[in-house]
Amino acid sequence: MAISPQIPKYNGRISRRHKLGFGVLSDPGNRVAGQFGLKFEYSEALKGVYTGTFKMTLEKYNGDDSWTMPLPARFVVSTAGRIVGAAADPDYTVRPEPSETIENLRRHLSEGGS
């Protein structure tokens, strides 16, 4: 599953457009992201780029005026609720390869994890 600060209406649109095979949950105000230490606030300069250049406001999509976003992160959570794999990077262009996540899952399961 994925977690996004966007309101459910926009998460649903993205899910349908990209034919995602998993659920996308909404995290209003990035509260969950904040609990994981993954929440950051846009600088005034960056807000200007988004509102001026891209004509985009996060308020519309996220349903609040916090101008916060989560760092992209990936967690592998066991059925017992333990985090058994994690990856995050402040550079949003750096993402773990899906094959790394699959290998993490296989390794965890081969070690008898659930």
- pLDDT of 113 higher than 70: no
Q: What share of the chain has pLDDT > 70, as a percent?
A: 97
Mean pLDDT of 58-78: 90
Alpha-carbon distances of 36 from 7, 32, 73, 87, 99, rounded to whole Å: 20, 7, 10, 12, 24
Q: Residue 42 and residue 6: Cα distance in Å, rounded?
A: 16
Tell me, rounded to whole angstroms, the distance of Cα 2 from its chain centroid: 6
Q: What pTM does this model have?
A: 0.77
pLDDT confidence of residue 38: 94
- pLDDT of 58 higher than 70: yes
Q: Residue 61 and residue 81: Cα distance in Å, rounded?
A: 30
What average pLDDT is seen over the chain?
A: 89
- pLDDT of 56 higher than 90: no
Q: What share of the chain has pLDDT > 90, as a percent?
A: 54
* 7-43 tens-digit pLDDT: 999 999 999 999 999 999 999 999 999 999 999 999 9
